[in-house]
Structure 1
Amino acid sequence: MLQICHQQMARDTLMMRRAVVVGFLLVFGLAVRGSSVYRYEVDRGSDLEKELGYKLSVQDEHGEKQSESLDKVIPIESATPKYAVKFQAPVADKLKDLFELDLTLNDANGILIQVPLAIRPRLTKENAVDVQFLIKKDWINQAVLDLRCAPWMRVHPETVYSIRLGDYLPGYAPTEAQRIAELRKRHPSIGLLAWHRAKNPPDYSNNLSALTVAQKVFPEINFIGLSRAGLEMLLGPPDAKPLSPQNSVTYTFGNGEQAVICRFHFDSKGNVESIEKLPSGSR
């Protein structure tokens, strides 16, 4: 009888240990699969581009200096003509947890192909990424460089900075209408800002959702060169009070210490020349 009791206790203990292990694996697995991915579109000339600190050039393959070494060039199978792409970035600040650089080709239906160009070991002491590759010219406007960043522990969220190679073509100069259409396509949430400000009387976006959108998209978007009318097409009417200095307009999103307040200054042609970030509460 005593032996039977001992056997039963041993079986119960083993089952409890298995349950604990299985429970731990389930929780850990869910945490890994459920970890978020934060994606940012990096517009050329934006504040986010400056913060990332990368250098990117897209040139005609035959325009490259013949004396340059091609040891680092990653050939991508394609017919001529091709572009030579060079990308350099410091592994610091926002990119301190950079672990992979991917090339993605998209079409209207989504991703066609995604290829890793560089994989940085987690414990490497390298402080920079330097990648060169050739790409078919017909693909350049579909190509995106994805900078994937995440801390060592995979349960932490991953951050992806997406850079469109077509923006870096020599002589790339879209019209304002094309820029606005592309910005709306890349940052669809910006429509929420214009919707709030178009209300009568104006709603200066005390709504938390509008504040959240402004905090995210303002660093990603390059407003330089847009006309006053183009700016209002994207963001809606500017603040009425207090009046902005001559030849400038102010936009306020949110309220209190978390408010996003930007003053846009125009040049003599009426285009955005500079953007001044004002402290919260300065309205």
Structure 2
Amino acid sequence: MTASLAHALRLIAEHGHAAPWLTKARAEGSVMADALARALIDDDGERSAYDAPQAFEVFIRGGGNASLYSAVSATLARLYEQLGVRCLLDIGVGDGLALLPALGQTRPAPTTVDVVEPSGGLLDALRPRLPAGKAWQLTLQAFLAQLAPERRWDLAQSTFALQSIAPGERLVALKKLRRHVTRLAIVEFDVPVFSSADERFASLAQRYERAASEYGDDAALVAGGFLAPMLLGQLRTAAPSNWEQPISAWQDELVRAGYRVAATTHVHDYSWAPAWLIVAKA
């Protein structure tokens, strides 16, 4: 099944269509092939992954994400207690899916929690539940540009958010951030390194199909409303919208930015890739 889907993905990336191979994968039971075929027919695959809010809500709070974020929150809570964090900064906090449960599990919890998030809608959902602190609706780059030199935090954290910043800009931002924090903790996926295009398409097919299959009766909704537009964006875009990399590359990047990596800890095996925590000293 995933072999047919992988071939279809390659044809979509190279030619923009792959109807016969999508039909073959659909007949073999592929949820993603069905979602991709419908997306290409309905709107030529130009819809954003975030145009169907219900699908995204089901995706982020269901399937494998439930256990992923539970593990991430528990890991962060242990880190706060271990380090005695009193002043915390969360970069790319979203609506607090990882942050809020972590704070609820920590005794004593940080007394100041500041957050940075470019999405106003996500911040609006988070603000009423946010403890003492400030929320900035800014990108990390814009946040650092307006930050007073003396402002500092015990710990800055970022969960699955730094991958959305282009590597060159990210390295500059990480260097600037180092002046304001004692430690930095990031949670990211240990994505595989591909030796060939065929290996990349095979991996994409396996990981997307695995993700969709975790949603049971909601699989078609999640695959059609969120995963298919996301995958088509990855296949077609000339400019990537995220820059994932192996955990070893994240460690190297932090070292280049002037940090000292103190610990690297496995957090959870997720359908996309294993999630890891890296803690670095500024």
Higher helix share: 2
Whether TM-score is above 0.5 comes out as no
**If the length of structure 2 is used for normalisation, what is the TM-score?**
0.26
Q: Which has the higher contact order (CA 8 A, sep 6+)?
A: 2
